[in-house]
Amino acid sequence: MGAGADLAGTTVLVAGAAAAARRAVRRYRAAGAAVRTVGSPAEYHSVLLGRVVLVALVEDGEPGWERLVADCRTCTVLLVREPAAAPGGRVTLVGGGPGPEDLLTGRALSALREADVVLYDRLGPHRELERLTGGAELVDVGKRPGHHAVPQDEIERLLVRAALEGHHVVRLKGGDPFVFGRGGEEVAACVRAGVEVSVVPGVTSAVSVPAAAGIPVTHRGVSHLFTVVSGHAPLTDAEHRHLAGLGGTIVVLMGVGTLPQLVAGLSGAGMDTTTPVAVVERGWSDSQRTTVSDLAGVVTDAAAARCTSPAVLVIGDVVRQAHGGRCAEPLAGIIRAAGGA
């Protein structure tokens, strides 16, 4: 009981030691109930049952709740047993995948269900969090139009503080936490503070967004390696040379803003300017769009199509393999148009 039930206007008594009961208290409040609490059998008195429609007895391992159970029977008050919240605070970094809820892993879903507090940002599945968590406190730390993102050190402070207060804190991140997600820094902050921390990997956009556009990042006989690069800041000449020399697929995240520098760098390093390039925007959303061009034309084409972030760039012959090669023919002449998902 709790998450799905509408208990608006009712009174629920949550019985059990405070630390063990905190999740149940939060869930019944989230379901709209006025929550009374009783922390131990010694504090219990039958008066507490007045106007109560439901008693949630938390399995806190303490003996002595028999009188409450008996009173519920006598007064025909419904009694449900609730599992105790795990003792001790901890942090779970959860990879949320590229957006849709059903690209969350089973382990990610369990972590969300067990969360007391969730820190999330706008990449990844955040719209359904209320339902997925059942009453956790939801904190948006991401950038939204007109708002500033919470700075990284502040996020780390929030994580650690909530865990030290005894909460299970989930840090939900887009894609995989360790792919340009600053997950490593958050793990380090927890370790420094002596907070238990674990990581749930996620479906990274580096592979899944090309896949959403039908593009395999490797393909037998075409590309046997792929390199994932951050375009957050322009690369150095040496990096452009190395990348161009690898001969495999190049996948760029956060690369829309620095696309001109990347193209100039790779062309200058000798990459074939007829190499296909795909810009996949808003992968897995209803407004997903793929713009296909080549190294020579992509800057102009992406500007003409007004490509914006979030987008994943795929540079390499695998782009011709999109949807099993169905795009190979038009690509030979270079598609300059944008296509839907």
Active site residues: 121, 143
- φ and ψ at residue 210, rounded to 5 degrees: -55, -40
| 137-140 and 117-120 beta bridge pairing | parallel
- φ and ψ at residue 29, rounded to 5 degrees: -65, -45
Q: Which is nearer to ligand SAH, 7 or 118 (CB)?
A: 118
Structure tokens at 328: 């190979």
Least spacing, CB of residue 264 vs ligand SAH, in Å = 20
Structure tokens at 192: 């420094």
Q: Which is nearer to ligand SAH, 137 or 178 (CB)?
A: 178
Element (H, E) at 240: helix 237-246
Q: Which is nearer to ligand SAH, 99 or 265 (CB)?
A: 99
Neighbours of 241 (CB within 10 A): 17
Least spacing, CB of residue 283 vs ligand SAH, in Å = 3
Work out whether 259 is an interface residue with ligand SAH (CB under 6 A). no
Q: Which is nearer to ligand SAH, 24 or 252 (CB)?
A: 252
Structure tokens at 222: 């075409």
Work out whether 312 is an interface residue with ligand SAH (CB under 6 A). yes
- Dihedral, CA of residue 68, residue 74, residue 75 and residue 81, to nearest 10: 40
Distance (Å, whole) CA 45 – CA 36: 12
The pattern of x and - marking residues 321 through 340 that bind ligand SAH according to CB under 6 A reads: --------------------
> Which residue in this structure is represented by tokens 């990284």?
152
Q: Are the C-beta atoms of 125 and 133 separated by less than 8 Å?
A: no
Q: Which is nearer to ligand SAH, 98 or 297 (CB)?
A: 98
Length of the chain in terms of residues written: 341
Residue among 309, 325, 329, 337 that touches ligand SAH (CB under 6 A): 309
Work out whether 179 is an interface residue with ligand SAH (CB under 6 A). yes
In the chain, the amino acid numbered 181 is G
Q: Which is nearer to ligand SAH, 3 or 299 (CB)?
A: 299
**Any residues with CB less than 8 A from the CB of 205 and at least 6 apart, and which?**
98, 123, 174, 175, 179, 253, 283, 310, 312
Q: Which stretch binds ligand SAH (CB under 6 A): 5-13, 22-30, 71-79, 277-285?
A: 277-285
Work out whether 104 is an interface residue with ligand SAH (CB under 6 A). no
**Any residues with CB less than 8 A from the CB of 52 and at least 6 apart, and which?**
11, 12, 13, 36, 77
The pattern of x and - marking residues 115 through 154 that bind ligand SAH according to CB under 6 A reads: --------x-------------------------------
Work out whether 181 is an interface residue with ligand SAH (CB under 6 A). yes
Q: Which stretch binds ligand SAH (CB under 6 A): 38-46, 80-88, 189-197, 304-312?
A: 304-312
Q: Which is nearer to ligand SAH, 60 or 281 (CB)?
A: 281
CA-wise closest residue to 60 among 45, 79, 38, 76: 38
Least spacing, CB of residue 287 vs ligand SAH, in Å = 10
Least spacing, CB of residue 56 vs ligand SAH, in Å = 37
Query: In the chain, how long is the greatest CA-to-CA distance?
Result: 85
Distance (Å, whole) CA 316 – CA 56: 58
Q: Which of residues 10-49 bind ligand SAH (CB under 6 A)?
A: none
What's the helix, strand, coil split of the chain in %, to 5? 35, 25, 40
Work out whether 209 is an interface residue with ligand SAH (CB under 6 A). yes
Least spacing, CB of residue 124 vs ligand SAH, in Å = 8
Residues that bind ligand SAH (CB under 6 A): 98-99, 123, 173-176, 179-181, 204-206, 209, 253-254, 282-284, 309-312
